Amino acid sequence: MTFLRELLAVILGVFISFFIMFFIFFAIGSALSSSFMEEERILVKDNSVLVLRLDKQIRDFAPKSDDPFEQLLGFEDERIGLNTVINAIDNAKYDEKIKGISIESMFLRAGIAQVQEIRDKLNEFKESGKFIVAYADYYDQKNYYLSSVADSIYIYPEGGLDFKGLSSEILFFKDFQDKYGIKMEVIRHGKYKSAVEPFLANEMSEANREQTFAFLNSIWGELVADMGENRGMTSERINEIADSLLARNPNLAIENGLLTGQMPKDQYIKLLKNLSEVNEDSKLSRISVENYIKSGKGRIMSTAKDKIAVIYAQGEIMYGKGDERIIGQELIKEALQKAKAAKDVKAIVLRVNSPGGSALASDIILREIEITKEEKPVVVSMGSYATSGGYYISCNADRIIAEPTTITGSIGVFGAIPNISEFSKRIGINAEQIGTNKRSVGYSIFEPMNEDFYMVTREGIERVYNTFVTKVAEGRKMTFEEVDSIAQGRVWTGKEALEKGLVDELGSLEDAVRTAADLVGITEYRVRNYPDYEKEFKDIFKGPFAKVKENMLKTELGESNYQALQRIKEFSELKGIQTRLPFLIEIN
């Protein structure tokens, strides 16, 4: 009887498990089917206005997730690909159903170089003769920069405009470390390598202050020139408005030419109807850029047989496989090898948007690029960031193209290791080490860094720095001394990097693709995006839980505090020698 009861219990358990799994997969299938049908139902109506809200995180490449749980829970819609936004604006230029574009952004979650690329594409859109207008309850500087491309710019009467020039804030932790006995042991090469400066001092070094002021001025100069061109104002006048806060309220902003007018949103809708030649009593057809992309307008259709591969390297560089957010040498190597092996791929563009990271992973990626170049040309397109390791993997490409506002360079190296020896003593913890040989005992976070460990690590950092500079010198056809004079960890904008010989020209991803096509002599081609992000079955279940945790922290801490926490966490988890962007650069 006991055996029969246990057998029945097992059978019942298996039956219930199958029932639960069937229900889960049925729910997933229904969700995916519903999502597919929703995309199928999206149609662009006549006399439509394309709405650019752009309130989701903008990544250079944001492929549709193959994680069924992300799709079921709606997490995959929290980001949007810059490439698809650019394609959508390009398609809207020739789409007879689109009458114009309404920019209705508030707070852009994008890098300045990404915004510049969108803005340049909107300027091209205006060549069609269609209208672009902008509206917001409030404009911060990044959103105003995007919106200034519009023919007319409107604001809610009680809204506001933040327009005062750029600034950057860096947090310093030396007093915190001294107070609590928890610190980072730091070894670096490069007087400008400010990634570790917050752990060594209580204020900016003169070298860091110099470089920060220089690149902020360079970026601001680009923004001012672009805004001035569209608003019909001189750079001197725009700087006067910023210096004297002459746009601090809607009336002053209108009086000084930054805004066209003020009105409630309902009146703005009436304005859109008039511009679209829609009867005032009829409903205005507005389609978001996300839905426009889902309708099939996020791609440039082509029947060309030849292809240009665009490989997206976005995020921190970390040793390992990598994914959509992290550059790992395994995934990038695989993408380069696939593009090299594909007969219809004639040239390769590596789109780099990275603050850098692991020196080892960067070197492995660079080696694969050098191998790939032997068969097919490789052109680098730099996004918002291509610094340190991001520049390392770029330096030996056939051509390097950056946006004027790209932050690049930072050719320097550091090592940083957490140490809690003082803290552990205060709370009564003592660690003892024992080993078989004179130097067999390695570094311990419970003991101060010893001379042997410092010497070996310093030697490794010097070796990596010399290799870094040598690689750049070879790739850029410069001497070691010439590169060293502009290296030392210093950050440059794309415009400055062009003057220093670190990049070949200024331009967008599209420009880089055209350059790659020119190098192989083709005029008809289509783009093939890499890498192919595929999750293993065991990883599928990790995503939803991590996303729930992330959303909870964002809700409790706020977006800016959450990002600061993440950067501190990432910094504390760094392994090996790093070629990485200065710590916590925020441009406001």
* Active site (catalytic) residues: 193, 388
Cα 152 from Cα 267, distance rounded (Å): 14
Question: Any bridge partners for residue 150, and if so which?
Answer: none
Question: Any bridge partners for residue 5, and if so which?
Answer: none
SS3 category, 503: coil
Matching residue, tokens 């992000």: 533
SS3 category, 188: strand
Matching residue, tokens 């009564």: 428
Do 320 and 116 form a contact (C-beta atoms < 8 A)? no
Cα 553 from Cα 16, distance rounded (Å): 35
CA angle 338, 341, 345 (to 5 degrees): 90
Cα 82 from Cα 119, distance rounded (Å): 12
Do 387 and 315 form a contact (C-beta atoms < 8 A)? no
Rg (CA), the chain: 27
Letter for the amino acid at 556? E
- Give percent helix, percent strand, percent coil of the chain, each to the nearest 5: 50, 20, 30
From the number of C-beta atoms within 10 Å of its C-beta (0-12, 13-18, 19+), residue 338 rates as: middle
Report DSSP state, residue 501: T
Do 503 and 494 form a contact (C-beta atoms < 8 A)? yes
Cα 256 from Cα 251, distance rounded (Å): 9
Cα 531 from Cα 338, distance rounded (Å): 9
